[in-house]
Structure 1
Amino acid sequence: MRRTLIRLGLATAIAAALLGAAAVVTRPAPEDPTTVPAAQSAVRPPADLLGDRIARAQQRLRDVPGDWPGWAALGGAYLEQARITADPGLYPKAEQAAKRSLALRRDGNGDALVVLGALANARHDFPAARDHARAALTIDSFDADAYGVLTDALTQLGDAAGATSAAQRMLDLRPGLAAYTRASYDLELRGRLAEANDLMRRGLDGAVDPHDVAFCRVQLGDLAFGRGDLDTASAEYAAALSADPSSIAARHGTLRVMAARGDLRGALTGYAGLTASLPSTSALLEYAELLRLAGREAEASQQLELAEAAEGLFTANGGADGLTAAALALARNRPADAVAAASAEWKKRRHPDVADTLAWALHATGRDAEALPYAERAVAGGGHTAVHTYHLGMIQLSLGRQAEARTEIDRALRTNPYFSPLDASTARRALAGLRP
């Protein structure tokens, strides 16, 4: 799946009220500069800009400690800083600032509730995020930011109809990048990819800040990659880096294309730099997979240890992510642990990614009859991603349903023949053995 908006929610929009943040979503600076035109290389990394604004906000609050909107905005800024630095250690600061705002003014303080909702989304406490958003909407039913938090929460909880309604309401109230991104993702989950792409193009058309431009380009690149169009994906990621040389997401996308094109050596070098800049669990897992493909098992194990440490930091700061725990367990060849983590996550939320992970974990333990309903659930909404479809096909194959397996594995490879450096080749071999 292309992008989830849950480890931040909508904090930047709140922070902008006080801090004057120009970008809706921003990215941190890389360690390895990418060659870009000289005029663009002067763009300041968003982490630096946000740090400056936070410092000014803190000074204002020292001068005017009763500024309750300022405390809410500071909480949103801490949350945004946590996202662009991949540091969940900032979550408690965000929480303290938002709660300080509520202590100063509880009645009518929708801003603080939205920040707490965004924080709950970031920590994967989606019921709490939903409740905070709804509480904010009882204060102001025209609060587009609250609808953004509500959209994210309902999406992850598996309330597809509710998420669509909330995203549409956000679009009606404040059509802009934050709304377009959520509506685009909602369409993608339902398999309406052309419309999802069109909405991101609309976001790009209205983007002025270079970080916003880069964000839109990355989303368009991710959509192109998802449909196997490496040339378009590569061009979009390059355009993102031209607009914002500090875009970690664009670097990440470029490396995925590199790996898909078979440049394993170059991709490994790039992932080493990427994970040093922003050690996200997903990037570390991808790096470990490529190292295993290259036969470098000891180094792959080291990256998995780092991924586990990153997830431990997330958990220590109030987060809970059974989906990532399951992915880590599968990478460690502990399928029973993966089943336990994914099953617990499924009890909390019915997102397609959770259904798919649970299905694949059950498959890894040989429980394919149990896995099949979850694999079917993962694609039931219309979002037939290559990964989900491949998993469904392989589970069907294990159950002896060769005709159905052939259909799904073929669909996965037609959707995106580059969906995984390891699994795509397995899919091709399986399909070759299933030809009528």
Structure 2
Amino acid sequence: MKKNTIYTLLVIAFVMSVGTIVYKYTSSKPNDNANKTYALLPRKGAAANSPEWIKVKEQGYQLLKSIQTNPNDTKSLIQLATLYIREARITGNYTYYDKAALTYVNNTLAIDTANFEALILKSLLYLSQHHFSDGLALAEKAKSINPYNAYVYGIAIDGNVEMGNYDSAVADADKMLSIRPDLRSYSRASYLREIYGDYPGAIEAMKMAVQAGAPGDEATEWTRIQLGHLYENTGDLRNAEMYYTLSNEARPGYPYALAGLARIAAAKKDFTKAISYYEQADTTVTDFSIKEGLADVYREMGQTAKADALEKEIIKTMNGEAQSAVNDQTIGHYVDKELAYAYLKINDNDNALKHALLEYDRRPDNIDVNECVAWVYYNMGDYEKALPYIKTALRTNCKNPTLLCHAGLIYAKAGNKTIAKATLQQALNMNANITSDLKMQGASALQTL
């Protein structure tokens, strides 16, 4: 036997023996998270001292106890997954709680593959992680099982909006409202009216959503914040501030109310107060938008180095989220649109374009994604490439002031002065609470038209 052949056989034997060892080792370990237990994590800031938190901890403890006693207790599995989804909203720790909730949802589906509640929760989790296409598909499957459940239509609305299927979202909203007119259905109707450029109608529907909720409940206060933001976009800062204040009083230390108050303070050039509000919010919840708001305040104060340092910290964290999406297709969080805007703020246009196009490949019909791609090309000086994307972004007649400013600036640079002038006038006449830099760019361009 030749020496090379002997060496080859020895290598094969070695690889096989190592493979056997590895197989025994890995097969003795859980190859998924099915048997892993996820406990509640401590809350931060004001939320850690709320009476609500005491009840949540007790509920979580009892549910975990029930599941440990009977792993096939699907009712407790669903209740615990729901609890963790809500806790993700409150704390912003989606990485941990979404994974925990998905584990219990998958355990339920392993017992009952057609469990309606598990399907809608899994759909909701996919949407939370920005896996919009997968989330929508699951919502449609759940809808076919129970076409008379209002909640599943709400998830389908969210999925269709994110995928840019706006007509389907409107049809689902009509169905949802006919089944159960409540906070969830009114708030979604409001969002769709905003998408189609009807701000008075959006405000009316969001007021109805707030009135349908219990004051102090997280869902109610989140809805009240959305109402305040609608007022910000229409230039009514007095009403916006009122709703943010009411929300903070109803749910003390609510981070999104604090962030709203920070934006109002920044609009009044009270940067010290704005920073204080943002820092308070940041101690309670993990949310990129709050850190982004703080970076914007630093930039407006002329503290560019401080703003860029914070932006780079945000980008580093978001890249970690993006990498988790690559490593785990079932739960990793896609944040490419957010990364694109973050890179623009530090003038890294190449990375901004890379992430904007990654998001566009996933959902080419979404107006926000098209706006993002258009704005990146504008910042790169490629105005002709920006045009088709901004036209798609405007296809629902959305009157978001930031979108209109972006569109007007792009049309101006592309040489379409008539549309540019009309669009910029519409945006600036709203006197909305948008960034000072964008207002200045819009006003400067308008003077040349």
Q: Name the TM-score, length of structure 2 as normaliser.
A: 0.83
**Matches of residues 57-136 of structure 1 in structure 2 within 5 Å?**
57-87=63-93, 88-107=95-114, 109-136=115-142
- How far residue 73 of structure 1 moved from its aligned partner, in angstroms, is 2.4
- 1:200 is matched by which residue type in structure 2? M
Instruction: Evaluate the alpha carbon distance shift between residue 310 and residue 84 of structure 1 in structure 2; reply closer, same or farther with a 3 A threshold.
Output: farther
Q: Does 1:207 align with 2:207?
A: no
> Match of 1:420?
435
Q: Which runs of 5+ in 2 are unaligned?
A: 1-42, 325-330
- 1:429 is matched by which residue type in structure 2? S
- 1:319 is matched by which residue type in structure 2? H
Partners of 1:300 and 1:288 in 2: CA distance: 5
- How far residue 379 of structure 1 moved from its aligned partner, in angstroms, is 1.8
Q: Does 1:184 align with 2:190?
A: yes
Q: Percentage identity across aligned positions?
A: 25
Partners of 2:60 and 2:321 in 1: CA distance: 22
Q: Is the 8 A contact 1:29 1:248 kept in 2?
A: no
Q: Does 1:335 align with 2:354?
A: no
Partners of 2:319 and 2:225 in 1: CA distance: 28
Partners of 1:48 and 1:331 in 2: CA distance: 41
Aligned match for 2:204, one of 198, 219, 227: 198
**What SS does structure 1 have at the residue aligned with 2:293?**
helix
Partners of 1:58 and 1:101 in 2: CA distance: 14
Q: Name the TM-score, length of structure 1 as normaliser.
A: 0.86
**Matches of residues 14-413 of structure 1 in structure 2 within 5 Å?**
30=45, 44=50, 46=52, 49-87=55-93, 88-107=95-114, 109-211=115-217, 212-315=219-322, 316=324, 318-349=332-363, 350-413=365-428
- How far residue 196 of structure 1 moved from its aligned partner, in angstroms, is 1.5
- 2:176 is matched by which residue type in structure 1? M
Q: Is the 8 A contact 1:47 1:81 kept in 2?
A: no
Partners of 1:150 and 1:275 in 2: CA distance: 31
Q: Is the 8 A contact 2:236 2:432 kept in 1?
A: no
Q: Which structure is richer in relative contact order (CA contacts within 8 A, separation 6 or more)?
A: 1
- 1:233 is matched by which residue type in structure 2? A
Partners of 1:209 and 1:51 in 2: CA distance: 21
Instruction: Evaluate the alpha carbon distance shift between residue 138 and residue 320 of structure 1 in structure 2; reply closer, same or farther with a 3 A threshold.
Output: same
- How far residue 369 of structure 1 moved from its aligned partner, in angstroms, is 0.6
- How far residue 209 of structure 1 moved from its aligned partner, in angstroms, is 4.2
Instruction: Evaluate the alpha carbon distance shift between residue 217 and residue 45 of structure 1 in structure 2; reply closer, same or farther with a 3 A threshold.
Output: farther
- How far residue 213 of structure 1 moved from its aligned partner, in angstroms, is 4.1
Cα displacement string for residues 28-69 of structure 1 (whole angstroms, at most 9, x for unaligned residues)? 8755x9xxxxxxxx9936555434322222122223322113
Mean CA deviation greater in 178-187 or 417-426: 417-426
Partners of 1:411 and 1:45 in 2: CA distance: 46
Q: Normalized per residue, which structure has more helix?
A: 2
Instruction: Evaluate the alpha carbon distance shift between residue 254 and residue 46 of structure 1 in structure 2; reply closer, same or farther with a 3 A threshold.
Output: farther
Larger radius of gyration: 2
CA RMSD of aligned residues (A): 2.1
Q: Which runs of 5+ in 1 are unaligned?
A: 1-27, 34-41
**What SS does structure 1 have at the residue aligned with 2:399?**
coil
**What SS does structure 1 have at the residue aligned with 2:436?**
coil
Partners of 2:342 and 2:191 in 1: CA distance: 25
Q: Is the 8 A contact 2:183 2:220 kept in 1?
A: no
Q: Is the 8 A contact 1:184 1:199 kept in 2?
A: yes
Cα displacement string for residues 327-368 of structure 1 (whole angstroms, at most 9, x for unaligned residues)? 121122111221221122112112211111110001111110
- 1:367 is matched by which residue type in structure 2? D
- 1:76 is matched by which residue type in structure 2? T
Q: Is the 8 A contact 2:255 2:280 kept in 1?
A: no
Instruction: Evaluate the alpha carbon distance shift between residue 144 and residue 314 of structure 1 in structure 2; reply closer, same or farther with a 3 A threshold.
Output: farther
- 2:420 is matched by which residue type in structure 1? A
Partners of 1:45 and 1:120 in 2: CA distance: 30
- How far residue 253 of structure 1 moved from its aligned partner, in angstroms, is 0.8
**What SS does structure 2 have at the residue aligned with 1:393?**
helix
Cα displacement string for residues 51-105 of structure 1 (whole angstroms, at most 9, x for unaligned residues)? 4322222122223322113212222221221221111222211111000011122
Partners of 2:155 and 2:69 in 1: CA distance: 31
Partners of 2:54 and 2:290 in 1: CA distance: 23
**What SS does structure 2 have at the residue aligned with 1:382?**
coil
